[in-house]
Amino acid sequence: MSPLSKKSNRGLGKGIDVLLPKDFDKSLLLDETERIQKISVDLLEPNPDQPRKEFSQEGLDELASSIKRHGLLQPLIVTPSKLPGQFLIVAGERRWRAAKQVAFKTLPVVVRSSQDIQRLEIALVENVQRVDLSPLEQAESIERLHQQFNLAYEEIARRLGKAGPTVNNIVRLLQLPPEARKALADKLITEGHARSILALKEWPTKQAELLSSIVHYSWSVRQAERFVVAYKKGAADIKEVHAKVKTESPETKKLSKHLSAPVSVRRMANGGKLEIGFKDETELSRIISRLLAK
């Protein structure tokens, strides 16, 4: 049986409920269909604070075709505008633009007050900080804040008290292949391993090879990083890549025996390092003396 199937088939996320306090007013959520109403597309206006400023026309065309065939499956989230009778789109501008392309006259929306939106946003931000959320659950939560509340990643990072690059790295986990996401959810790999897999995004087959090697051979994060470096430097096949990932060779074993100390090779993007381990200063002095001896 593959190590990937040894763990229970745990879901990748626990749903939005895991992010909300037990006493949170769930009437604010999207699944309360009785709150959905139809509003004319002409009464809707885009949010000027929307972080997404450019929309792919090809993507809009595809979405418009789907909406024309199946209808709009998810309502927009809107809030009353400063203009009487108008509504500001909080989430769903892309769907609004696509629906206008196919001449929809009205759209299903959930109207929330600015206070409602602020309460839900605050609840989500507070719960993203929970320590018991898995890396993928954090990524999904941050992406929800970005997509449904028009918060730029930089603003989310500020509210979470995290560095911008940290938040970006968390969200990038959503770009992992399905098998790698499952392995991360099942704790067969770590975030460090996941980042190495993401570094091979342009080569899906190599991502699969790296994932398999991590799981089957219990590779460390450092070994996964070496795999990436070796492949990008032009290693011809998997055997050659594996050879470059190895930290030992006949030469390092011979040197290790001579020094009576662990010796390993660490390959990097340019060259590498020969690493000699020691337990304390006394052992370091002994190793140096032996290296300098004629």
Q: Which of 137, 156, 174 is the last residue of a domain?
A: 174
Is residue 94 domain-shared with residue 135, that is, in the same domain?
A: no
Is residue 18 domain-shared with residue 141, that is, in the same domain?
A: yes
Q: Tens digit of pLDDT for each residue in 273-286?
A: 777 888 889 888 88
Q: Which residues contact 229 (CB under 8 A, 6 or more apart)?
A: 244, 267, 268, 269
Is residue 275 domain-shared with residue 237, that is, in the same domain?
A: no
Is residue 181 domain-shared with residue 209, that is, in the same domain?
A: yes
Residue 43 lies in a domain: yes
Q: Which of 174, 198, 217 is the last residue of a domain?
A: 174
Is residue 37 domain-shared with residue 145, that is, in the same domain?
A: no
Q: Which residues contact 152 (CB under 8 A, 6 or more apart)?
A: 51, 146
Domain that holds residue 85: 32-112
Where would I find the H helices in the chain? 57-70, 93-101, 114-128, 135-148, 153-160, 164-172, 178-185, 191-198, 204-217, 221-232, 238-245, 250-259, 281-292
**Can you give the CATH number for the domain in which 58 is found?**
3.90.1530.10
Residue 29 has pLDDT above 80, yes or no: no
Is residue 15 domain-shared with residue 137, that is, in the same domain?
A: yes
Q: Give me the number of domains the chain comprises.
A: 4
Q: Tens digit of pLDDT for each residue in 159-190?
A: 888 888 989 999 999 999 999 999 998 999 99
**Can you give the CATH number for the domain in which 139 is found?**
1.10.10.2830
Is residue 102 domain-shared with residue 228, that is, in the same domain?
A: no
pLDDT value of position 270: 58
Most confident of 31-40, 182-191, 221-230: 182-191
The overall average pLDDT reported for the chain is: 77
pTM for the full predicted model: 0.49
Is residue 41 domain-shared with residue 157, that is, in the same domain?
A: no
- Residue 215 to residues 167, 193, 201, 241: CA-CA distances in angstroms? 26, 10, 18, 16
Is residue 181 domain-shared with residue 163, that is, in the same domain?
A: no
First-residue to last-residue Cα distance in the chain: 54
Is residue 125 domain-shared with residue 232, that is, in the same domain?
A: no
Residue 27 lies in a domain: no
Strands 272-276 and 106-111: unpaired
pLDDT value of position 13: 43
